[in-house]
Amino acid sequence: MIHLNPVMSDPNTQKKTKYIFVTGGVVSSLGKGICASSLGVLLKSQGYSVTIQKFDPYLNLDPGTMSPYQHGEVFVTDDGCETDLDLGHYERFIDQSLSRLNNITSGMVYWNVLNKERDGEYLGNTVQIIPHVTNEIKERIEAPLREQHFDVIITEIGGTIGDIESLPFVEAIRQFQFNHKADCVHIHLTLVPYLTTSGEFKTKPTQHSVKELRSIGIQPEIIICRSLMPLTKDIKQKIALFCDVDQRGVISAMDVESIYDVPLVLENEELDKVVCEELGLEIRPGDLDMWKKYVQGLHDPTAKVIKIALVGKYVGLNDCYISVVESLRHAAVENGAKVEIEWVNSEDIEKDTAQTYLDGVCGVLIPGGFGERGFEGKIAAAKYAREKNIPMLGLCLGMHVLSVEYARNVIGIKHAQSGEFKDKATDKIIDIMPGQRGAKKGGTMRLGAYPCKVKPKTVLHKAYQQAEISERHRHRFEFNNKYRKGFEENGMVFSGTSPDDKLVEVMELPDKHFYLACQFHPEFKSRPGKAHPLFREFVAAAKHFSGVQQSLPYES
Ligand code: GLN
């Protein structure tokens, strides 16, 4: 059960916190997370302290056990919480690390309520959705304040208005605003379709969605309308009239090229100003210079296009590798390049050759993953990239792939394997961590931030310029120390280890253009304008590689 500390009040400042709730209507996947994050950027740029949290209506305790096909990427926080991928957007946009307080699910809420019931905390009462479940949710709205003061808390409610699952959350925020009337604002995100045949916007789905929201007691002050192109004044007027909102509260959010354009679009629509007015916050001049500079770099038409292959299993669904993709984009901007991702399904390589899919790319990235399917295809990709000296970056499972490939094809350990797939294998280069055997599936991996000691004069050190770093983990299997000596004798450098030297965290081949693999997930810490050092170096090497003959030595 999760116990919460008391809310911290700052007796010196007596600062009040304002609450913004973001709900979605009409269809899912409209980008509530990006809108919440963008509003966070705008309010932070005005100097307000902001945090963002996500309430997910599903019954899993966290998304850790869900298939990437269903849920997309599982994002991991420093404190080892497996969370919704929207937390990745929040962190990247507001440039702040979040914690387990920032993502709750219905499962967690019910878990707490039921544990309290078993502990007799309800003193003989009948335990009900209202008030027990809703009280638990209301407590969680303010939970971030238990660690520090925030001027604004933005809470995104997952799902779509009208879903049975999200009703307790919506009822909880209705009750919350009843007690904090002047301090709450409701933003509803909807879709305004444009019919190309008749050449008109359609407002009916928005009207219905707002009607649904009002029927459960919430009147939005702001409606953000996703549409193909900017809404006309007439349409804004119509939505304002039928949904009972001020016309300035109807915000047009047309489709844009990149998610990083969204804060600028919303600023242009004066979303932050309307929010401040609604909440009684002073409107301060915002400073978005850094953001604008990044967006400019992102759209720089002179940027050199480089092709990087992402060799994975879930390549049909980009959401599964969202942090990796964003990290590549951040690194590209910092290198004056534009990354074009070549999605390669490793199972296809198994039916063909690696060359068919990797010919012409100037970087190969093997991301994390679970399960044996496609593993041999990834090994073939790693072999091809190593032999052709194509810059290569392996992340988590990617490090396992590079290790097994090196053991088999360079050291000559024919039956080299990962214990994840062949527990009975004779040469398990990768093996399960002690204590992990037979562990339950949920929340039991090596999770969250761990320190890593960096060896001087290595690519790793060149990237970070630090003797010790901290990175986030999510895995059960590790490099088997039995094979360390053999690897080193064959040229591999273990450039990152746990401070006690017991766990391999990073390995690299110094004589390659770029060949590095890490046990952790650097992608969770990359941010626009502050590309992650490993991605920055990898993309720099790929850019360099694209411009030279592969036989030439690499110089940075
Ligand atoms: N499946 C591997 C493990 O559990 C790698 C996990 C990952 O890539 N995140 O160790």
Following DSSP, what letter does each residue of 346-365 receive, concatenated? Answer: HHHHHHS-HHHHHTT-SEEE
164 CA from centroid of ligand 1 (Å): 34
Q: What is the pTM of this model?
A: 0.93
Instruction: Please report which confidence band the pLDDT of residue 7 belongs to, taking 50, 70 and 90 as the band edges.
Output: low
pLDDT tens, position by position, 207-220: 999 999 999 999 99
Q: Are 474 and 77 in contact (CB under 8 A)?
A: no
Residue reference for tokens 């929040």: 90
The predicted pLDDT at position 4 comes to 58
Q: Do domains 17-294 and 300-544 have the same CATH topology?
A: yes
Question: Which of the residues 142, 405, 505, 523 is marked catalytic?
Answer: 523
In the block, residue with structure tokens 């932070």: 44
What are the domain boundaries of the chain? Answer: 17-294, 300-544
521 labelled catalytic: yes
Catalytic residue among 71, 513, 521, 532: 521
CATH superfamily of 17-294: P-loop containing nucleotide triphosphate hydrolases (3.40.50.300)
Render 50-63 in DSSP notation, one character per residue. Answer: EEEEEEE-SSSSSG
Burial of 36 (0-12, 13-18, 19+ CB in 10 A): buried
The tens digit of pLDDT for each residue in 319-328 reads 889 999 999 9
Predicted confidence (pLDDT) per residue in 393-443, tens digit? 999 999 999 999 999 999 999 999 999 998 888 999 999 987 777 777 777
Lowest mean pLDDT among 256-260, 318-322, 324-328, 505-509: 318-322
Q: Is 477 in the pocket of ligand 1 (CB under 6 A)?
A: yes
**Residue whose CB lies within 8 A of the most ligand 1 atoms, among 74, 313, 397, 445, for a mutation test:** 397
Segment 119-147 shows an average pLDDT of 94
Write down the CATH superfamily of domain 300-544.
Class I glutamine amidotransferase (GATase) domain (3.40.50.880)
CB distance 454 to ligand 1 below 6 Å: no
Cα(25)–Cα(186) distance, integer angstroms: 13
Confidence of residue 3 (pLDDT cuts 50, 70, 90): low
Tell me whether residue 523 is one of the annotated catalytic residues.
yes
Among the ranges given (4-8, 458-462, 525-529), the one the predictor scored with the smallest mean pLDDT: 4-8
Q: Which helix (H) or strand (E) holds 200?
A: strand 200-201
Question: Which residue lies with its CA nearest to atom 1 of ligand 1?
Answer: 370
Sign of CA dihedral 95, 100, 104, 107: positive
- The finding on whether 370 has its CB within 6 A of some atom of ligand 1 is yes
CA of 368 to the centre of ligand 1 (A): 6
- Residue 46 has what pLDDT? 96
- Summarize the confidence of residues 96-116 as an average pLDDT: 96
Could you tell me whether strands 493-497 and 504-508 are parallel, antiparallel, or unpaired per DSSP bridges? antiparallel
Contact 214, 249 (CB under 8 A): no
The CA 534 to ligand 1 mean position distance, Å, reads: 19
378 lines ligand 1 (CB under 6 A): no
Q: How confident is the model at residue 80 (pLDDT cuts 50, 70, 90)?
A: very high
Q: What is the pLDDT of residue 547?
A: 78
330, 527 contact by CB (below 8 A):
yes
474 lines ligand 1 (CB under 6 A): yes
Handedness of CA 452, 456, 458, 464 (dihedral sign): positive
Q: With 90 as the cut, is the pLDDT of residue 304 above it?
A: yes
Q: How many angstroms separate the alpha carbon of residue 243 from the centre of ligand 1?
A: 48
Residues whose CB is less than 8 angstroms from the CB of residue 35 and which lie 6 or more positions away in sequence, other chains included:
22, 187, 189, 224, 253, 262, 266
CA of 492 to the centre of ligand 1 (A): 21
Q: Rounded CA gap, 96 and 43, in Å?
A: 14
From the list 326, 328, 293, the residue with the least C-alpha distance to 543 is 328
Q: In this predicted model, what pLDDT tens digit does every residue of 355-364 receive, in sequence order?
A: 999 999 999 9
- Model pLDDT, residue 26: 79
Q: What is the pLDDT of residue 1?
A: 56
- Determine whether the shortest distance from the Cβ of 369 to ligand 1 is under 6 A: yes
Q: Positive or negative CA dihedral for 108, 112, 117, 118?
A: positive
Of 35, 396, 452, 518, the active-site residue reads 396
Indicate whether 353 pLDDT > 70. yes
